[in-house]
Structure 1
Amino acid sequence: MNNAAPASVHPHRTPETGEAPARRGGRLALLAAGLLTLIVLGSAVHLTQGTASLDAWDVLGFVFGVGTDGPAAVVVESRLPRLLAAILVGVALGVAGAVLQSVARNIMASPDTLAVDAGAHLAVVAVAAFGISLPLLGAAGIAFAGGLAAAVLVLGLSGTGGTGIVRLVLAGTAIALAMVAVTRVLLLLFAQETRGLFAWGAGSLGQNGLSGVTTLAPVVGVALLCLFAMSRRLDLVYLGDDHARALGVHVGRIRAAAILLAVMLAAAAVTVAGPIGFVGLAAPALARLLTNAVPGLHRHAALIPVSAALGVTLLLGADVLLRAMIGSQSALEIPTGVVTTILGAAFLMLLARNIRITSRPAEPPSAGARGGVGVVRYRVVLGTLIVATLGVLASAVLLGDTKLLLGDIGNWLAGQAGPIVSNVMDTRAPRVLAALLAGAALALAGSLIQSVARNPLAEPGIIGVSGGASLGAVTVITLVPGIGFWAQAGFAGLGAALATAIVFALAAKGGFASERLVLIGFGVQAATQALVTLLIALSDPWNETKALTWLGGSTYGRSFEHLVPMALVLLVMVPLLVRARGELDLLSVDDETPRVLGVNVPRTRLLMLAGAALLTGAAVAGIGVIAFVGLVAPHAARAIVGRRHARMLPVAALLGAVLVCLADTIGRTVIAPGQLPAGLTTAIIGAPYFVWLLYRSRKHAG
């Protein structure tokens, strides 16, 4: 464990400014006064926003006890609970993020990146799905248990040494994706029992009276008092374990207590308003960035209240901005968490672009893989995979809500099948082929991205390429109802290309560090998913149904027309990859080796990234967003046949095809005639494998 404060976060040391203590304290007081002024002004504006015609004078009249009962009722029953919820949640998330960053010694730690929000949401939905009704404090306790389990798992995988920034984000992202997938499965299977929890899961400040705020405010208050009492010991723990132990601090107990209190705060926030994205990351990170300019802010006695005030300012500002831009009536349909996620993702990308990367360079995707296998063994592996692919293909065609026999397939191929078999095959065959093609395309895209980024844990979903494709597709579906499939596919490809360009352009600063690429990609992915949610919320119900098919990664309703873009892109990319296999081997090692051997590194990298964007866009256009295939298939292929792309790429393509086809078959059969989207199934399957990869590679963490 690294016992020093991370270089990426300003250490808690008072800068030698030469200023008088009073002047240094004056800066802190000025910051506190400024934040308090912003909160007061924001609260005043917030109370004037709503669907009822209530202006600032009416609100002032209510405050001073002058006015009619009508305005008073609106403020008390509607606007005041929303305002108090924003203040309570902002305080809870800001402080929770500050404490988690301190105990992890990692500026990227937050309830979002530690999957606390996702774990709390899953726990609440799981209890509701099984018909258990709990009081508000009971629901908060369930959310606390789920959030704590997620945080412990993520911190166990990433460590608390302060240098595992990328590992923490990757572990949190993977675990959060798996938990979100399980949550959505429960929402689908128990739609009646979990009614209303889907919208709540996006993060909304809307309240039914003051009961939620008044019930959980004491919980937040007790947690804050405990953290204030621990503030001096948190200062010492943040500076380093050895330093803290030398001064008599029991590091393990303080860290455990701080994590428990931080998760308690995050669980209270989730119970009141659902998962509100990125406030717990942005608020304390902004506070830490101000420590050099505001002496004294490095101490937790000041850092905690300033982070709380910044959390309130960000959340309140996002809610005011949302209702000012689109109107109070329209804002009722838009979760506030969508706005905070968009703003927070932009802040994360800016932070990642300028952060000092202190961890060791990421191992190339070939690291730890076999040096290669013999020709005979490779042919055996390839032949076995081809047979397995054909077997999965046959099983996928035969299984479903209607079971078929091999003879039925033969009759259908010969054009002699009856109407029942023909109807089933006309809908099932394109679904199966779509899953195969999409799996192969995503596996090849993941292989290219991992080679170019030289990061074995990168994949189209994690670095934002899939999110860009889904945003492009959903945008055109929402804005141009009834648009044809080819236009949808084109916009999906354009979205993937734009997301790829943004990620790699921003990551180019500082020598194209793969750690920076992953962090920026995470921000792009979060922003695109929030924008997709925003578009869906603003669209009419018909467009909402169409758009959600992209997000679930479902093959439902696919026809042979939907296969054409994937088939065309694969036909173009396969010969290109065969020709570039040697360049990919060199590019996955470093930049200097291919340059010395005459490879044009920028041109090759651009070409491979364009190919990955095309493959991802075609797959998303075909069946929607599928998680983890672009990570699991290439990694498994390298483990089986080695690092050479001439052998790894075809094996990865076959593994990806098998994985998606198998996931689609499971989704169509386990709850038939109901169906689970293939994307949720691959997330549930792929996340444990990803977690295992992170666990196995802990010794490589910098």
Structure 2
Amino acid sequence: MKDYLSLRIGKRFSSFQLHKKTILFSLLALLIVIAVAVVSLGMGEMKIAPLDVVKVLLGIGSEENALIVEQFRLPRIVIAILVGAALAVAGAIMQGLVRNPLASPDILGVSGGASVFAVGFLILFETASIKWLPPIAFLGATLTTFLLYALSWKKGVTPLRLVMIGVGIKIAAGAIVTMLIMFSPFLLQNKALLWLTGSIYSVDWNDVFMILPWVVGLILVAVLLARRVNIQQLGDDLATSLGSSLQLDRFLLLMICAALTGTAVSVGGDISFVALLAPHIAKQLIGPSFGGAMTLSAFLGAIIVLLADLVGRMAFSPIEVPVGVFTSAIGAPFFIYLLYKNRNR
């Protein structure tokens, strides 16, 4: 047991063990997040050396560099970290609930529901303030999760029914979004399509302060409930026999997943495959326990979105390619690989 660190919060609320390997990989991932963020803060039309970026962050940089970094680039970097972490933890929860590495909020329709509400808002309320978009997307994700849970209920909710109903909701949501775009004016079509590809280029500090408490709070709750996700892996019969309130836990975890997804989608758009990639990589590195996998997934999700944003800004400069284009380019082949790997399950 020397390789494990035991953590307990309260007498009954949450307890789990972290392997030293989990701590090591999490610290390494955190360092990568910081390194990529510093490099990204220095990239743009006016390049700033990493050392000068660090000086700005420490409050000893030049006024010109401070203006560029703090007012124009840092909000985008913070949003990339928050969105990536939120999507990754939501994906870890979803994969744990359905006991399937192919599951994620975007594949099971939760992101699609948020997209329907967001695109509908952009097209039907074109004169309304864009600041209403985050709560609208959040509402869409939450209502879609309620619908997913209700349609999957038959003397309880099973992982198989969640997957089947979720895929159906995703297809229906995609069809609704397509219809909304087809019958809208050209300028509104471009606006909606840009949001759908997943883009964080226009965010500011107001967006950061709006989602920061939600993302941090929900991730902390998710990590504290990781033991309940582990119990879900035992199967319904065994988990129930051990005294687990299986259906209540499943509903609570689904709501956390929806809240994280809606929060991320509200400012980042429909960024695909981060919720699929990050948890799978985390479990490959440290094993199947969700206590450590959620924390590592959050860091990995942040890295994926940060790198996608950096490449999108610099690969075809001065043209910026949305984050979602690069995450899809990486995630789609990976999803096909997972399908092939799990074809006999």
Indicate the TM-score class for this superposition, using the shorter chain for normalisation: 0.7 to 0.9
Instruction: Give secondary structure in 1 for the equivalent of 2:344.
Output: helix
In structure 1, the partner of 2:338 is: 693
Instruction: Give secondary structure in 2 for the equivalent of 1:699.
Output: coil
In structure 2, the partner of 1:508 is: 153
Q: 1:628 aligns with which of 273, 294, 308?
A: 273
Q: 2:132 aligns with which of 487, 507, 515?
A: 487
Instruction: Give secondary structure in 2 for the equivalent of 1:627.
Output: coil
The one-letter code sitting in structure 1 at the alignment partner of 2:233 is: S
Q: 2:309 aligns with which of 647, 660, 664?
A: 664
Q: Distance in 1 between matches of 2:20 and 2:327?
A: 31
Q: 1:677 aligns with which of 322, 325, 330?
A: 322
In structure 1, the partner of 2:250 is: 605
Structure 1, residues 647-671: CA drift from partner, whole Å, max 9, x if none? 1110011111101111111111110
Q: Distance in 1 between matches of 2:71 and 2:182?
A: 33
In structure 2, the partner of 1:390 is: 34
Is the Cα contact below 8 Å between 1:633 and 1:652 reproduced in 2? yes
Shift of residue 423, structure 1, vs aligned partner: 4.0
Q: Distance in 2 between matches of 1:662 and 1:650?
A: 19
Q: Distance in 1 between matches of 2:336 and 2:17?
A: 27
Q: Find out whether 1:528 has 2:165 as its counterpart.
A: no
Is the Cα contact below 8 Å between 2:157 and 2:247 reproduced in 1? no
| Percent sequence identity over aligned pairs | 34
Is the Cα contact below 8 Å between 2:38 and 2:53 reproduced in 1? no
The one-letter code sitting in structure 2 at the alignment partner of 1:618 is: T
Shift of residue 421, structure 1, vs aligned partner: 6.5
Q: Find out whether 1:441 has 2:102 as its counterpart.
A: no
Is the Cα contact below 8 Å between 1:563 and 1:622 reproduced in 2? no
Q: Which gives a bigger RCO, structure 1 or 2 (Cα 8 Å, sep 6+)?
A: 2
Shift of residue 534, structure 1, vs aligned partner: 2.4
Q: 1:576 aligns with which of 194, 209, 221?
A: 221
Q: 2:298 aligns with which of 645, 649, 653?
A: 653
Shift of residue 685, structure 1, vs aligned partner: 0.8
Q: Distance in 2 between matches of 1:510 and 1:455?
A: 21
The one-letter code sitting in structure 1 at the alignment partner of 2:302 is: A
In structure 1, the partner of 2:8 is: none
Shift of residue 446, structure 1, vs aligned partner: 0.7
- In structure 2, runs of 5+ residues without a counterpart are 1-15
1:101-112 equivalences under 5 Å are: none
Change (3 A) 1:425 1:572: closer
In structure 2, the partner of 1:53 is: none
Q: 1:402 aligns with which of 46, 50, 53?
A: 46
Shift of residue 513, structure 1, vs aligned partner: 4.5
1:120-519 equivalences under 5 Å are: 375-410=19-54, 412-413=56-57, 414=59, 417-419=62-64, 422-423=67-68, 426-509=71-154, 512-519=157-164
The one-letter code sitting in structure 1 at the alignment partner of 2:204 is: S
Shift of residue 488, structure 1, vs aligned partner: 1.4
Name the larger-Rg structure. Answer: 1
Shift of residue 442, structure 1, vs aligned partner: 0.4
Q: Distance in 2 between matches of 1:551 and 1:587?
A: 33
Change (3 A) 1:453 1:691: same
Bigger drift between 407-416 and 682-691 goes to: 407-416
The one-letter code sitting in structure 1 at the alignment partner of 2:329 is: I
In structure 2, the partner of 1:16 is: none
Q: Distance in 2 between matches of 1:695 and 1:669?
A: 33
Change (3 A) 1:608 1:552: same
Is the Cα contact below 8 Å between 1:373 and 1:641 reproduced in 2? no
Q: Distance in 1 between matches of 2:190 and 2:241?
A: 53
Instruction: Give secondary structure in 1 for the equivalent of 2:217.
Output: helix
Shift of residue 453, structure 1, vs aligned partner: 1.7
Q: Distance in 1 between matches of 2:108 and 2:115?
A: 13
Q: Distance in 2 between matches of 1:428 and 1:610?
A: 32
Bigger drift between 505-514 and 684-693 goes to: 505-514
Is the Cα contact below 8 Å between 2:215 and 2:263 reproduced in 1? no
Is the Cα contact below 8 Å between 1:454 and 1:589 reproduced in 2? no
Change (3 A) 1:575 1:401: same
Change (3 A) 1:446 1:421: same
Q: Distance in 2 between matches of 1:402 and 1:683?
A: 29
Q: Find out whether 1:561 has 2:206 as its counterpart.
A: yes
Is the Cα contact below 8 Å between 1:566 and 1:615 reproduced in 2? no
1:577-596 equivalences under 5 Å are: 577-596=222-241
- In structure 1, runs of 5+ residues without a counterpart are 1-371
Q: Distance in 2 between matches of 1:546 and 1:664?
A: 19
In structure 1, the partner of 2:284 is: 639
Instruction: Give secondary structure in 2 for the equivalent of 1:558.
Output: coil
Shift of residue 374, structure 1, vs aligned partner: 7.5
Is the Cα contact below 8 Å between 1:463 and 1:518 reproduced in 2? yes
Aligned residues: 329
Shift of residue 594, structure 1, vs aligned partner: 2.8
Shift of residue 510, structure 1, vs aligned partner: 7.9
Normalised by the length of structure 1, the TM-score is 0.44
Structure 1, residues 238-296: CA drift from partner, whole Å, max 9, x if none? xxxxxxxxxxxxxxxxxxxxxxxxxxxxxxxxxxxxxxxxxxxxxxxxxxxxxxxxxxx
CA RMSD of aligned residues (A): 2.4
Shift of residue 462, structure 1, vs aligned partner: 0.7
Change (3 A) 1:378 1:415: closer
Q: Distance in 2 between matches of 1:456 and 1:416?
A: 45
Structure 1, residues 75-125: CA drift from partner, whole Å, max 9, x if none? xxxxxxxxxxxxxxxxxxxxxxxxxxxxxxxxxxxxxxxxxxxxxxxxxxx
Is the Cα contact below 8 Å between 1:412 and 1:422 reproduced in 2? no
Shift of residue 499, structure 1, vs aligned partner: 1.7
Is the Cα contact below 8 Å between 1:565 and 1:618 reproduced in 2? no
Q: Distance in 2 between matches of 1:473 and 1:696?
A: 35
Is the Cα contact below 8 Å between 2:113 and 2:141 reproduced in 1? yes
Q: Distance in 2 between matches of 1:390 and 1:525?
A: 35
Q: Distance in 1 between matches of 2:266 and 2:109?
A: 15
Change (3 A) 1:456 1:556: same
The one-letter code sitting in structure 2 at the alignment partner of 1:624 is: G
Q: Find out whether 1:539 has 2:193 as its counterpart.
A: no
Change (3 A) 1:569 1:673: same
Q: Distance in 1 between matches of 2:341 and 2:125?
A: 47
